[in-house]
Structure 1
Amino acid sequence: MKKTAMTLISAMLAASLLLSACSKDASAPTASQAPSAPSSTTPSAPASADAGKKESANAAKVNPPGKFPIVNDKITLKVFIAGNALVENFDTNGYTKWLEDKTNIHVKWIVADVKNYKDQLNLALASGDLPDVIMNAGVSPEQQMIYGDQGTFVSFTDLIDKYGDLTKKIFQEMPEARDAVTAPGNKIYSLPYINDCYHCSLDYKMYVFKPWLDKLGLKEPTTTEEFYEMLKAFKEKDPNGNGKADEIPLVGGISASGPSKSAIDVFLMNSFIYDDGDKRMLVKDGKIDVVYNKPEWKEGLKYLNRLYKDGLLSKESFTLDKDGLKKIAENPDIAIGGAIPAHSPSDITIVEGKSNRWLDYQPIAPVKGPSGYQKSTWLAYDKIRGGHFIMTSANKYPEATMRWADAMYDFEANLYSNFGVKGSSWEPAKQGDLGRDGNPATYRLLIPFGRVQNESWAQFGLNYRTDKDWYAGQAVLKQPDKEKMYYDITKKNYEPYKPKLEEVVPPLFFPTSESQQLAELDKTINDYFKSMTARFIIGDADIEKEWNNYVGTLEKMNLKRYLEIYQKALDAKKTVKK
């Protein structure tokens, strides 16, 4: 019994390394302290290398592609899904019911906590009590390779050929989608989630409360020094006019589900050196490198520390989530928030809400740093996201699961999954309706996205949303039209400052042998640099006294080997494309 418990604990530690969220408070362990990634001998449920070859005596008879329901006799899939704060109840949800009626596939949901879903998935993977499907958990390429090699995750490759009509159509229309999700050995462990959203590709924006600029007679800042002076005015000149020093000049936030679009460093660090908002990597002359050990990064940290020391940057920037930021931006009766980094107004305000703050907060262009550097973060490959639909070896119905996933790519299914029930949240376009591109519209949106509701999965599940059909195809029913507004401001303020495509790290897969080492290095190095970034900003660590030790510690954590693994994967990708 004791031995069994120790084995389980060891497996849990290994899974924790692979899927844990980055620590914000604790100091990162050294490379020698980090737990090992799962070895190729880690026990897992039996599975073939490819789900398309899997046959089960319990498998239901699946109808051919294009015919619904998918199965005549109802089956149940156990689906693990990361929590979504905008969805009241996945069991009784309108899209859940619509999809079940269409496919005859019932879902037993395992809805993980929004903030701790990675820990819950760790436990499931470590214990062997696997769901049939893992959805919207953002499982990384490294994790896919490791668990795929062990047989815990199974490949969709053959299943797509047999049952994935819409998936194959997507791969034909967008070949880069297949390339992005295909691992070595032609294995596809994760079906792609595609959201070809223009304004989302230049996602790290800085929203400033424009009524305060107008009241104080300020222009939008164009340099880091002007940005500093703007915040100083917000702090000292009572722009909300209530006679109290309650203004918060600048505040950011964090996310438990991946990189935060409200991270305090990204927009401003791009005035010193390129910050991609995630791994903090760039490609220069074909070589991958990190930016957080460079002199320019140090200068950016010094600027952020200056904002913090002068009371212009809120200390809550390292603890607040979206809900916390929204409480600041939507503070009742009177505005208190000056500048907030975010993806869009829906992250920090109630779009089309009574306060109208969603129009008051306007995104400013990247500001120029002391050396003249000025960039915007470009998520060039973000339209194709992997790790959001994975099938495990516990699944008894791989063929039906493939067809169920494929059905989610249908345009009508996307309307249900993103907005809600037909006739309630959306309806087909009417005669004369025009989309944002001036062509006939496809659909009308009746209720704005961003509210807590129980009709849709609020952009969860699988999606195939193209900019032309999805965003331009929505009927313009009134002004201001929020999507057109987002498009126009992105084109004007952010497009001119994006990096070149060859400077952006593309999606990469790594051989299993290197994935295990990479998982350890990635967690150790990234936890450490993120922890030290926060410490340098708030002054808990003196950047002048501790910078050299910080850079040396990264080297001791084997940053060189970390970059070698990435470089090898990048070179291999280039070779395959040739």
Structure 2
Amino acid sequence: MVAAISGCSSNGEGNSPGVQSTPSAGTDGGSAVAEYPSSFSYWVELDGDSAASLTNFSEVAAYKKLEEITGTKVEFKHPGGDGAQVKEQFNLMIASRNLTDVIQTNWLAVPKGPQNAIEEGTIIRLNELIDEHAPNFKKFLDENPDIANMIMTDKGDIYAFPFIRKADQLKVYYGPIVRQDWLDKLGLDKPATIADWEATLTAFRDQDPNGNGQKDEVPFLLETGAVRNESLNQLIGAWGILAKFYQKDGKVQYGELQPEYEQFMATLSDWYAKGLIDKDFPAVDGKLKDAKVTGDTLGAFYGFASGSIGKYLDLVKDHPTFALSALSHPALQAGGVSAAGQLSPTYPGEHAVVITSEAKNPEKIVKWLDLGYGEEGHMLFNFGIEGESYAMKDGKPEYTEVITQNPDGLAFKQAQARYMRTHFGGPFLQDLDSFLQQMKYPQQLEAVDVWAQAENQIQLPPITLTAEESAKVASIMNDVNTYSDEMIIKFIMGVEPMSNFADYVDTLKQFGVEEAIGVYQAALDRYNNR
């Protein structure tokens, strides 16, 4: 099969003359051999932290070192523009069949799904190639059959080399944050229920916690895009649901059809009318959010352990009292636990690497990708270059000052991007120590523990849809999402009265959302039966 794939390719990739052939894993006596490729092309988005100081991943120290080890020249192709433009360029590449050898993207979100991409000849099935030429990755899959299940289609075809967050602490990094110094000044405990939240936000509104004698405090910044994002879930877990698709007892449900969602909307609408939610919330972007936090006017918001708590404590370090701390995801009842907060899955889908049908010698590329799951590749992708970006201390790697206090003034993640790929994704296992070392403040480590206390049992696993299912759901959800994104803002701001919520639900049903639920149910059943 490999020979047939190779023979049909138009790619001119050749053998690497300077690299010795080595026996492949999974063979008797090493009868099959594969070399590293001399070169291959690799399509992948250039993340923002990398773009701060790099123009191409070939400049990353880890990839330079891999070239020394393997003799392989990787030709990185980076799409330009924002998310919509990247998606457009990806779709054009697929439609035109002008494929690179390797593509890294979220294949769970690709139209028609990965099984269709295999059947149409866009990407190749990897099962046998992994068995023969990826000993590190094969060993990992053998030891973690649950993860093997995540990266295959319902037909059993493995389609990607994944980015894996195996440790639980790597999966939680986002949640509610409060001005702890405001709580202390007003003598308030941390709010734990929705009622507690309302009392706290009311005190922020009325009792001048920033002490400037003006009523300029913004109690809470709501971000509606995060409410409808099933992995971020601002506040909604208190009502035991998610905004879109979720599961209970193996049955798929859609949150915006539920009576609990009406209660959720009614609460937010009431808070907005009382001045507890930022009046400009629909238009607030990252820069405005930063300005509100650093400008000493915002009391509570959702954010990241590193990109929010760490960043703001750095930016406002000269403020005499400024302090942030994490809040638990609120429940409705005292002593209760939120049904869901932010939780990244073990295999998040993003950064999955596939080999396309254009690759002339896929077995060689498989061997190269397998390095990321071995010890040497693990260290390169997670820590970079020993003696430069990290040093071993007491048997553990620790980042050097080139990362922690970058001489060029780069932020922690920006400095990491020069040397490694941890936190930025790719074909490897993310290291917990790498993640924890960016937590320079105890409040960040505390936040991860506090946010992890949500139950997080209702999120869907990484199911895959068939081509027909994918097309059907896309058609339905394009209309649903456009309508819902507009309507929830209207409900919250009081432009649309809550008395019209039943009409809203009827409209969602007219768009076909119940049919989409059925599609997801069939996909979940298939996933559970793999």
TM-score range, shorter chain: 0.7 to 0.9
How far apart are 1:324 and its partner, in Å? 4.9
- Specify which of 308, 318, 332 is matched with residue 369 of structure 1: 332
Does structure 1 conserve the Cα–Cα contact (< 8 Å) formed by 2:49 and 2:413?
no
How far apart are 1:124 and its partner, in Å? 2.5
How far apart are 1:299 and its partner, in Å? 0.8
- State how 1:531-542 maps to structure 2 within 5 Å: 531-542=486-497
155 and 210 in structure 1: CA distance in 2 versus 1, 3 angstrom threshold: same
How far apart are 1:318 and its partner, in Å? 3.8
- Specify which of 209, 225, 235 is matched with residue 179 of structure 2: 209
How far apart are 1:426 and its partner, in Å? 1.9
Equivalent in the alignment of 1:574:
528
* Structure 2: tracts of 5 or more residues without a match: 26-33, 405-410
487 and 309 in structure 1: CA distance in 2 versus 1, 3 angstrom threshold: closer
- State how 1:516-527 maps to structure 2 within 5 Å: 516-527=471-482
Equivalent in the alignment of 2:193:
223
How far apart are 1:427 and its partner, in Å? 1.7
Equivalent in the alignment of 1:20:
none
Does structure 1 conserve the Cα–Cα contact (< 8 Å) formed by 2:36 and 2:364?
no
Q: Deviations over 1:324-369 (max 9, x none)?
A: 544443x2xx533211112424245428736359993211122232
- SS of residue matched to 1:271: helix
- Specify which of 250, 273, 279 is matched with residue 240 of structure 2: 273
CA–CA distance in structure 1, aligned partners of residues 287 and 373 of structure 2: 30
Q: Deviations over 1:367-422 (max 9, x none)?
A: 23279964142667701233521233333342232223222233443444345443
Equivalent in the alignment of 1:129:
98
Bigger share in helix: 2
- State how 1:218-367 maps to structure 2 within 5 Å: 218-253=188-223, 259=229, 266-275=233-242, 280-315=244-279, 317-322=281-286, 324-329=288-293, 331=294, 335-347=296-308, 349-350=310-311, 353=314, 355-356=316-317, 360-367=323-330
> Identity of paired residues, percent?
22
Equivalent in the alignment of 2:414:
452
CA–CA distance in structure 2, aligned partners of residues 109 and 477 of structure 1: 29
- Specify which of 77, 81, 84 is matched with residue 41 of structure 2: 77
How far apart are 1:188 and its partner, in Å? 1.9
- State how 1:379-394 maps to structure 2 within 5 Å: 382-387=345-350, 388-394=352-358
Please state if 1:402 is matched with 2:366: yes
397 and 231 in structure 1: CA distance in 2 versus 1, 3 angstrom threshold: farther
Equivalent in the alignment of 1:64:
22
How far apart are 1:519 and its partner, in Å? 3.0
Equivalent in the alignment of 2:393:
429
CA–CA distance in structure 2, aligned partners of residues 368 and 86 of structure 1: 38
Does structure 2 conserve the Cα–Cα contact (< 8 Å) formed by 1:80 and 1:110?
yes
Equivalent in the alignment of 1:556:
510
The one-letter code of the counterpart of 1:452 is Q
Does structure 1 conserve the Cα–Cα contact (< 8 Å) formed by 2:476 and 2:516?
yes
CA–CA distance in structure 2, aligned partners of residues 371 and 296 of structure 1: 18
307 and 319 in structure 1: CA distance in 2 versus 1, 3 angstrom threshold: same
CA–CA distance in structure 2, aligned partners of residues 342 and 475 of structure 1: 17
CA–CA distance in structure 2, aligned partners of residues 537 and 233 of structure 1: 21
CA–CA distance in structure 2, aligned partners of residues 477 and 528 of structure 1: 39
Does structure 2 conserve the Cα–Cα contact (< 8 Å) formed by 1:282 and 1:504?
yes
TM-score, scaled to structure 2: 0.81
Does structure 1 conserve the Cα–Cα contact (< 8 Å) formed by 2:325 and 2:447?
no
How far apart are 1:179 and its partner, in Å? 0.2
Does structure 2 conserve the Cα–Cα contact (< 8 Å) formed by 1:180 and 1:507?
yes
Does structure 2 conserve the Cα–Cα contact (< 8 Å) formed by 1:204 and 1:343?
yes
Please state if 1:543 is matched with 2:511: no
CA–CA distance in structure 1, aligned partners of residues 365 and 180 of structure 2: 49
TM-score, scaled to structure 1: 0.75
The one-letter code of the counterpart of 2:73 is I
- Specify which of 108, 111, 117 is matched with residue 76 of structure 2: 108
How far apart are 1:182 and its partner, in Å? 0.7
Deviates more, 1:186-195 or 1:533-542: 533-542
How far apart are 1:195 and its partner, in Å? 0.9
Does structure 2 conserve the Cα–Cα contact (< 8 Å) formed by 1:202 and 1:376?
no
Deviates more, 1:392-401 or 1:287-296: 392-401
The one-letter code of the counterpart of 1:553 is T
* Structure 1: tracts of 5 or more residues without a match: 1-47, 431-440
- SS of residue matched to 1:541: coil
Equivalent in the alignment of 2:31:
none
201 and 498 in structure 1: CA distance in 2 versus 1, 3 angstrom threshold: farther
CA–CA distance in structure 1, aligned partners of residues 436 and 342 of structure 2: 27
73 and 136 in structure 1: CA distance in 2 versus 1, 3 angstrom threshold: closer
Please state if 1:119 is matched with 2:88: yes
How far apart are 1:475 and its partner, in Å? 9.2
CA–CA distance in structure 2, aligned partners of residues 281 and 82 of structure 1: 30
CA–CA distance in structure 1, aligned partners of residues 316 and 4 of structure 2: 53
- State how 1:463-478 maps to structure 2 within 5 Å: 464-465=428-429, 470-471=431-432
530 and 473 in structure 1: CA distance in 2 versus 1, 3 angstrom threshold: closer
CA–CA distance in structure 2, aligned partners of residues 531 and 360 of structure 1: 35
Does structure 1 conserve the Cα–Cα contact (< 8 Å) formed by 2:113 and 2:465?
no
Does structure 1 conserve the Cα–Cα contact (< 8 Å) formed by 2:292 and 2:298?
yes
Aligned length in residues: 496
